[in-house]
C-alpha cells in the first residue's frame, strides 16, 4: 500500500450539467474526461481522490453522447473534500474549460442524514429515462423528411442492424421512439437557406433502452422505411435528457429532485439556475449545433 495518510473523504457531491457545442462535439468521451480533470485542477476545485497507488479524481459520468454528436445536456458528478458554493464552481469550472465545453448547471446532491438509507449507486442515471434529440439534415427537403417521419410512425416495428460491443445485432428502433416530427429550419434561417439549399429538422424523444437506440439508428430506420438518405452527415444534438412523463411525452429536469430536497446555497443557486438553464429546444441551444 502507498505510504501516507488515507485520502480526504468526500464532503460534498455536486451534479453538473454540461454542454458540448460546435467543433468540440468531435471530442470523445475520453477527451472530455481528461479536459474536465484538468479544468478541475486549474480551477482549484478541491476534488476528492480515490485511494491506491494511482489515485483518480472522483468524477463520474452518466452516459455520454457519441463523438461527433453535440449535446446541451450531459451529466457528471464530482466529489469534493470541502463544501463549495455550486454557483461558484459552475463559473470557475466553465472558465477553466475550453470554449465549447460549457458548464450549464451545478447542484449539490443532498447529503443523506444519519439513519437515511444510503443513496444507491446508479440512482441518478435511473432518472435519465429518455433524451430529446434534434437532427439537422442539410440537403433534405421538409416534405421528404415529413413523409419519412409519417412512414416511420406508421410502422409497428423497424429492425435495424448495428455493430455493438457484443457484435452485430438486430433490434427494433420503433418502440423506443416516444415522439418524432419533422420541421423546417427556424424562420430566420429559412429565407437564407430555402433558396439554394434545402434543410429539414427532425425532433424526437427517444427512450433509453438496451441496446441503446441512437439517433443514427433512427436515421437508418428512416432510410429503410422511406429511402431517406441525407447527402451530407446529419448534425445531431441532444437537447435534454431526464425522467419521461409518459402521459405528456415531456422530459423533466433530472436535477430537480436535488433542488427540491433543499439547497444549501439557497437563493444564489436559484438565481443562477434561472440565468443559465436553456429551455429545452429554445433557439439558443439549437443554434449551438452549427456554432
Cα 103 from Cα 105, distance rounded (Å): 6
Cβ–Cβ < 8 Å for 125, 63: yes
Site for another protein in 129-188 (CB under 8 A): 138
Neighbours of 291 (CB within 10 A): 12
> According to the binding rule CB under 8 A, does residue 291 interact with another protein?
no
Whose Cβ is closer to another protein: residue 70's or residue 182's?
Answer: 70
CB of 28 to another protein, least distance (A): 7
Whose Cβ is closer to another protein: residue 19's or residue 107's?
Answer: 19
Site for another protein in 34-63 (CB under 8 A): 34-35, 37-42, 44, 49, 53-55, 57
Evaluated on CA atoms 268, 121, 48, 100, the torsion sign reads negative
Kindly determine how many residues on this chain lie close enough to bind another protein according to the rule CB under 8 A.
33
> According to the binding rule CB under 8 A, does residue 23 interact with another protein?
yes
Residues paired with 18 in a beta bridge = 74, 103
Q: 208: which 3 cell numbers? A: 433509453
Cα 122 from Cα 75, distance rounded (Å): 13
CB of 133 to another protein, least distance (A): 16
> According to the binding rule CB under 8 A, does residue 248 interact with another protein?
no
Residues that bind another protein (CB under 8 A): 2-4, 23-24, 26-28, 30-31, 34-35, 37-42, 44, 49, 53-55, 57, 67-68, 96, 98-100, 138, 232-233
Amino acid at each position: 500500500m502507498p505510504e501516507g495518510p488515507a485520502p480526504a473523504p468526500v464532503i460534498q457531491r455536486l451534479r453538473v450539467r454540461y454542454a458540448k457545442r460546435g467543433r468540440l462535439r468531435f471530442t470523445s468521451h475520453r477527451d472530455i474526461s481528461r479536459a474536465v480533470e484538468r479544468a478541475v485542477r486549474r480551477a482549484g476545485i478541491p476534488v476528492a481522490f480515490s485511494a491506491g497507488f494511482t489515485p483518480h479524481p472522483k468524477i463520474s459520468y452518466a452516459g455520454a453522447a457519441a463523438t461527433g454528436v453535440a449535446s446541451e445536456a450531459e451529466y457528471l458528478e464530482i466529489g469534493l473534500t470541502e463544501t463549495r458554493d455550486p454557483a461558484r464552481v459552475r463559473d470557475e469550472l466553465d472558465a477553466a474549460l475550453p470554449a465549447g465545453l460549457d458548464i450549464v448547471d451545478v447542484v449539490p446532491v443532498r447529503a443523506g442524514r444519519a439513519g437515511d438509507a444510503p443513496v444507491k449507486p446508479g440512482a441518478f442515471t435511473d432518472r435519465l429515462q429518455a433524451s430529446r434529440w434534434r437532427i439537422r439534415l442539410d440537403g433534405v427537403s421538409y416534405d421528404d423528411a415529413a413523409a419519412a417521419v409519417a412512414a416511420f410512425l406508421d410502422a409497428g416495428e423497424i429492425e435495424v442492424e448495428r455493430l455493438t460491443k457484443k457484435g452485430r445485432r438486430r433490434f427494433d428502433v420503433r418502440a423506443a421512439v416516444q415522439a418524432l416530427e419533422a420541421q423546417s429550419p427556424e424562420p430566420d434561417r429559412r429565407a437564407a437557406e430555402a433558396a439554394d439549399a434545402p434543410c429539414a429538422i427532425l425532433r424526437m424523444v427517444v427512450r433509453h433502452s438496451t441496446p441503446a437506440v441512437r439517433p443514427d439508428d433512427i436515421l437508418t430506420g428512416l432510410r429503410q422505411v422511406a429511402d431517406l438518405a441525407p447527402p451530407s452527415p446529419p448534425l445531431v444534438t441532444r437537447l435534454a435528457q431526464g425522467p419521461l412523463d409518459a402521459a405528456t411525452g415531456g422530459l423533466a429536469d433530472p436535477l430537480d429532485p436535488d433542488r427540491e430536497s433543499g439547497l444549501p446555497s439557497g437563493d444564489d443557486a436559484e438565481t443562477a439556475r434561472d440565468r443559465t438553464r436553456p429551455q429545452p429546444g429554445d433557439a439558443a441551444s439549437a443554434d449551438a449545433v452549427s456554432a
